[in-house]
Structure 1
Amino acid sequence: MEVRVQDGGPAAPFLSARDVFETVCDLELPVRVQVRENPDERTWTGHYDDHHVLNISRRAATSAMARELALHEFAHMARYEESHPSHTQSTDEALFLGLAGNSVERHKVAQCYQIANHMKDIYADDITMRVASAEKLVSFLESGLAAAVADQPRPFRGGLVPANPGADPDITAVNAAFALALVERHDLADPDHRLYDLAAAAASDAPDVSLEEFKGRFVSLVDDPTESEYRKALVDVTRAFALGRQQAAD
């Protein structure tokens, strides 16, 4: 498994991740690591005919989670190389099928893409969790969810208009469901972990989103779905999030 770090980034975490990842999986194509200066994008992966690209911000590349982030992206590459439906299914196609004939706000559609990425992440992390630190991952999920819950919109005193738009409560609740699903799918934490309290707080801020429903959808994703099975799961979760209230009214 060939990994080359470009742009003067630190090589150690990526080479260490490679050595660990090779104990459970391998990649046929070489990996180029490109360290970016933009701190807003943590990591993302590109796939090409003859190589993969792991894009990572310099902040993430020099963080305590650098190796774990690299392991996660290597797992996405492995899923892509094995043509797993989660990584070959067109998200555009699934969203079109799920939302056809309905009027959906643009920000809601963008959030549907985020949910589709969560489903990809579930399958990638089925590989990642064979070699990654459960403790570090749970702490990472807890920190991210705590920040999002703290950033929920709060009204002006005596009014209903948010003083700060903050994080969107609905997608925060779905993100919480994803975090719990990942924890429960791999038995990473006990039910009394603080992550559950944070998820409950996120759910209370989003009464139109069922935390348990979305957690169940993520947890129950079958290990080796057919293309049709995966497409249906993605279409169903898209409709549940974007059209949930509308479907209930119908």
Structure 2
Amino acid sequence: MDLRVTGSASPSPFLSARDRFETEYDLSLPVRVRIREDPDERTWTAHPGEYHVLNISRQAATSAMARELALHEFAHMLRNEGGHPSHTQSTEEALFLALSGRTVERRKLAHCYQIANHMKDIYADDITLTLGPTDKLVSFLESGLATALADRPAPPRPGFERISPGSDPEITVVNAAFALALVERHGLADEDHRLYDLAYAAARDAPGVGFESFKRRFRDLADDPDESEYRKTLVSATRTYAVGDPTAAAD
């Protein structure tokens, strides 16, 4: 794999991730890692055509998860090169099919993109999780969910005005469903793990979302769907979340 790192952070985690990735897989196109100074920059991959780009904040690039984040993004690149429907299906097209003629809140529309990203992540991690220890990933999921629960809006009190919006309980439920789906799909933790307690707490905060249904949707995604099958699955998931269409339920 041709890998080049630019920016103010050590290339070591990315080189280590490359070496680990190449024990099982390889990429045809070069990879360019661009380290950004913005601490809020999310880790994401782009595919300009002749190479892949891994964008990552310096904070993430110097964290204990840097190697694992790079492995995850390499897996996205491999899915892209392989033409997997999860990585070739246009999210915008799926949302148009799911929501055409319906009125949807802006925040819920943003959440639908998150659902699509979770489905992509499931397929990327089907690759990543063949490459080594999983303890860091489970801890990462646990920490993220605990943070979201701690930041959820408190019940209003007289004379109290919350300045920051906090985490949205509805998408937190979906995120919790994704976390447990990944754990169960790959047998990463027992049912007495704290992650389950956190997920059930999130589900209680927004009972209308359908936590168990979304967990099954993510966990049971077909390994190798064709384009039509994947499109239907994504349309169903986004429509169910955005408008609560009972005909799109996974049960």
TM > 0.5 fold call:
yes
1:215-230 residue pairs with structure 2 within 5 A?
A: 215-230=215-230
Change (3 A) 1:211 1:161: farther
Is the 8 Å Cα contact of residues 41 and 57 (structure 1) preserved in structure 2? yes
Superposed displacement of residue 42, structure 1:
2.9
Aligned residue number for residue 20 of structure 2: 20
Aligned residue number for residue 118 of structure 2: 118
Aligned-partner residue type, residue 60 of structure 1: A
Change (3 A) 1:227 1:247: closer
Is the 8 Å Cα contact of residues 240 and 246 (structure 2) preserved in structure 1? no
Gaps of 5+ in 2: none
Is the 8 Å Cα contact of residues 154 and 164 (structure 1) preserved in structure 2? no
Aligned-partner residue type, residue 92 of structure 1: E
Aligned residue number for residue 144 of structure 1: 144
Aligned residue number for residue 32 of structure 2: 32
Superposed displacement of residue 166, structure 1:
1.0
Is the 8 Å Cα contact of residues 155 and 162 (structure 1) preserved in structure 2? no
Change (3 A) 1:244 1:33: same
Aligned residue number for residue 46 of structure 2: 46
- What TM-score comes out, normalization by structure 2 length? 0.95
2:90 aligned with 1:90? yes
Worse overlay, 40-49 or 92-101:
40-49
Is the 8 Å Cα contact of residues 17 and 71 (structure 2) preserved in structure 1? yes
Aligned-partner residue type, residue 17 of structure 1: A
**What SS does the aligned partner of 1:155 have?**
coil
1:1-250 residue pairs with structure 2 within 5 A?
A: 1-157=1-157, 165-244=165-244
Gaps of 5+ in 1: none
Aligned-partner residue type, residue 225 of structure 1: P
Superposed displacement of residue 8, structure 1:
3.5
Change (3 A) 1:164 1:30: closer
- What TM-score comes out, normalization by structure 1 length? 0.95
Is the 8 Å Cα contact of residues 86 and 123 (structure 1) preserved in structure 2? yes
Superposed displacement of residue 160, structure 1:
10
Q: Deviations over 1:205-231 (max 9, x none)?
A: 001111100000001100000000000
Is the 8 Å Cα contact of residues 209 and 241 (structure 2) preserved in structure 1? yes
How many residue pairs were aligned?
248
Q: CA RMSD in A?
A: 1.8
